[in-house]
């Protein structure tokens, strides 16, 4: 961030409330700065959680679910990646499958604000607890519970919680995502896969649809995204991110099977 912007943000910190400060940060943060926010879990952490349904028959050579999800969004300078993957992407797709609206987009703020309780939206969250919240409480459409700096940290009212129950998920499962065939099986049955990984500077700077194969160590923070397809010819998983449509290929990227098996450990799916 340039010095002038740093000084401007520092001055704002002295005079602004947390929600307004976040709104200002949305405007001041450089596009190259990529927020994350995942607390990465292991299969051991989730050993008592159920396994998902499998896929019967031969797996197709390629699958794409991108058209069944909302388009890539932008978490901006917040630690809300888990809710963008689990709520905005996966829960919206599950609700669409359930007939609740073909263009429905569910609010990442609704789950993130309750999970983090952070007025600055900096804290990370876990996929498992976010999915539990979606199952037990539900969520609201994004037009009813906006995602912007002004809403950061705001908790839902009793009336909003009552309306959110309409969009509860039935449940969720987890599986060992180091098994590429298991990942492909979920995608082949029409269910996107939420996953955690670590990032690096090369990943953050992706600007094309070339297959990413981790040219450097993945030593950055934890980040949650969602797998929306695969292609055996490319030997890669298609993913949707929450860094806006200027990242990689319109907000999507290809991760090689090799990258995936070494850097992704748990897959989560909504039942």
Tens of pLDDT, residues 179-218 = 999 999 999 999 999 999 999 999 999 999 999 998 667 8
Half-sphere CA count of 118, side-chain side, radius 13 A: 15
The pLDDT value recorded for residue 49 is: 97
- What SS3 state is found at 88? helix
Which residue ranges form the domains of the chain, and what is each CATH number? 62-270 (3.90.70.10)
The three-point CA angle 30-117-47 to 5° equals 100
pLDDT at 242 over 60: yes
The pLDDT value recorded for residue 178 is: 96
- What SS3 state is found at 243? strand
Q: Tell me if 109 sits within 8 A of 74, measured CB to CB.
A: no
Q: Which residue has the higher pLDDT, 35 or 244?
A: 244
> Which H or E run contains 153?
none
The pLDDT value recorded for residue 4 is: 47
Share of the chain above pLDDT 90, in %: 82
Q: Tell me if 255 sits within 8 A of 214, measured CB to CB.
A: no
The pLDDT value recorded for residue 35 is: 87
The pLDDT value recorded for residue 33 is: 59
The contacts of residue 91 (CB under 8 Å, 6+ apart) are: 106, 134, 139, 167, 169, 270
d(CA 69, CA 64): 11
pTM over 0.75: yes
The pLDDT value recorded for residue 34 is: 82
The pLDDT value recorded for residue 48 is: 96
Tell me the average pLDDT of the chain: 89
d(CA 245, CA 89): 14
Q: Which residue has the higher pLDDT, 214 or 147?
A: 147
pLDDT at 57 over 70: yes
In b/e form, how buried is each residue of 72-88, taking b as 16+ CB within 10 angstroms? Answer: bbbbbbbbbbbbbbbbb
The pLDDT value recorded for residue 10 is: 40
The pLDDT value recorded for residue 149 is: 66
pLDDT at 109 over 50: yes
Tell me: the pLDDT tens digits for 112-126?
999 999 999 999 999
pLDDT band of 38, cuts 50, 70, 90: very high
- Beta strand 252-256 with 266-270: parallel, antiparallel or unpaired? unpaired
Which backbone phi and psi does 211 adopt, to 5 degrees? -70, 125
């Amino acid at each position: 961030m340039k010095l002038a912007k740093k000084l401007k943000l520092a001055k704002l910190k002295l005079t602004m409330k947390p929600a307004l400060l976040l709104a200002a940060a949305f405007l001041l943060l450089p596009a190259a700065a990529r927020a994350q926010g995942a607390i990465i879990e292991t299969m051991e952490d989730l050993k008592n959680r159920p396994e998902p349904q499998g896929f019967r028959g031969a797996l197709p050579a390629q699958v794409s679910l991108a058209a069944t999800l909302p388009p890539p969004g932008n978490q901006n300078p917040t630690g809300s990646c888990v809710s963008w993957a689990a709520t905005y992407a996966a829960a919206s797709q599950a609700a669409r499958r359930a007939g609740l609206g073909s263009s429905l987009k569910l609010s990442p703020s609704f789950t993130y604000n309750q999970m983090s309780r952070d007025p600055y939206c900096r804290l990370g969250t876990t996929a498992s607890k976010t999915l539990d919240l979606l199952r037990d409480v539900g969520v609201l459409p994004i037009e009813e519970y906006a995602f912007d700096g002004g809403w950061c940290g705001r908790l839902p009212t009793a009336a909003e919680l009552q309306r959110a129950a309409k969009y509860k998920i039935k449940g969720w499962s987890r599986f060992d995502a180091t098994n590429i065939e298991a990942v492909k099986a979920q995608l082949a049955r029409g269910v996107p896969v939420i996953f955690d990984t670590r990032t690096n500077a090369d990943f953050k700077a992706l600007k094309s649809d070339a297959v990413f194969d981790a040219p450097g160590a993945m030593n950055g923070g934890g980040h949650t995204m969602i797998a929306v397809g695969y292609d055996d010819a490319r030997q890669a998983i298609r993913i949707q991110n929450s860094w806006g449509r200027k990242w990689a290929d319109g907000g999507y990227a290809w991760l090689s099977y090799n990258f995936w098996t070494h850097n992704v450990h748990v897959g989560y799916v909504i039942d």
